[in-house]
């Protein structure tokens, strides 16, 4: 395949990344409110937790879409993977987002470690998302006309 035919694919990647970062920001806000209402022992709106879980599920799906786009596009272009640090950063994001969703499923009163693990993993996820986004932005430059 020739170079311009991949442009639409990287365009989808850029849009998915925009939605992923938006979702991450909304998760940080809704997660922050969950934390606040719990620590103050206040009541919280019944929809807040489902909203947080729904947003989290959407972000997991978007990251898996980005993984598929990255692998398909790179294999189509070079026939093999491993061209830059973008691969390492991308895989780190995938592992962290899956670990975060798993830790979320473990959160319960009798498992206080799951809550702090969830928050720690999400802090690391923010840094990894920035690294994958910036390095992706860098490698996409050579596909632009
Ligand atoms: C990956 C998908 C995610 C899922 C499925 C998920 C799910 C959950 C669940 C089930 C809870 C427990 C809510 C409760 O206590 O009733 C929770 C808490 C929380 N989440 Fe997430 N979450 C995800 C991603 C994120 C992200 C990306 C962030 C931050 C950027 C975040 C921040 C928080 C915070 C701060 C809490 C409150 C912890 C506490 O009460 O101490 N979550 N999440
Ligand atoms: C969470 C976000 C992302 C993940 C998980 C991800 C994943 C991947 C993976 C696994 C590869 C294969 C890399 C290799 O084998 O060298 C790749 C390649 C690529 N990705 Fe991403 N990616 C993400 C975000 C982005 C963004 C935001 C862009 C920019 C629009 C982008 C553009 C590219 C490009 C152009 C390649 C081809 C690599 C090259 O030409 O060296 N990616 N991506």
- pLDDT by residue (tens digit) across 14-42? 999 999 999 999 999 999 999 999 988 88
Distance in Å, CA 63 to ligand 2 centroid = 11
| Minimum CA distance residue for ligand 2 atom 28 | 136
Count the domains in the chain. 1
Q: What is the pLDDT of residue 42?
A: 81
- Could you please report the per-residue DSSP string of 7-47? HHHHHHHHHHHHHHHHHHHHHHHHHHHHHHHHHTT----TT
> By residue range, what is the domain housing residue 57?
3-143
Q: Residues 64, 65, 69, 70: is their CA dihedral positive or negative?
A: negative
Of all ligands present, the nearest one to the C-alpha of 125 is: 1
Domain of residue 60, CATH code: 1.20.120
For tokens 């189509």, the residue is 76
Distance in Å, CA 14 to ligand 1 centroid = 25
Q: What is the pLDDT along the chain (145 residues), one digit of tens a residue?
A: 455 567 889 999 999 999 999 999 999 999 999 999 998 888 888 999 999 999 999 999 999 999 999 999 999 889 999 999 999 999 999 999 999 999 999 999 999 999 999 999 999 999 999 999 999 999 998 888 7
Is the distance from the beta carbon of residue 115 to the nearest atom of ligand 1 less than 6 Å? yes
95 burial type by CB count under 10 A (0-12 exposed, 13-18 middle, 19+ buried): middle
- Atom number, ligand 1, closest to the C-alpha of residue 32: 35
The rounded distance, in Å, linking the Cα atoms of 27 and 110 is: 24
Q: What is the pLDDT of residue 2?
A: 53
| Minimum CA distance residue for ligand 2 atom 4 | 90
Q: What is the pLDDT of residue 3?
A: 52
């Amino acid at each position: 395949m020739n170079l311009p035919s991949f442009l639409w694919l990287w365009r989808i990647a850029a849009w998915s990344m925009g939605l992923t970062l938006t979702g991450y920001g909304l998760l940080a806000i809704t997660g922050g409110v969950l934390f606040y209402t719990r620590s103050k022992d206040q009541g919280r709106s019944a929809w807040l937790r489902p909203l947080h879980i729904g947003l989290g599920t959407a972000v997991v799906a978007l990251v898996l879409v980005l993984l598929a786009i990255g692998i398909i596009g790179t294999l189509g272009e070079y026939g093999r993977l491993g061209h830059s640090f973008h691969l390492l950063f991308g895989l780190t994001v995938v592992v962290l987002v899956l670990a975060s969703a798993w830790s979320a499923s473990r959160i319960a009163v009798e498992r206080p470690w799951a809550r702090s693990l969830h928050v720690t993993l999400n802090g690391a996820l923010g840094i990894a998302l920035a690294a994958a986004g910036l390095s992706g932005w860098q490698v996409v430059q050579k596909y632009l006309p």
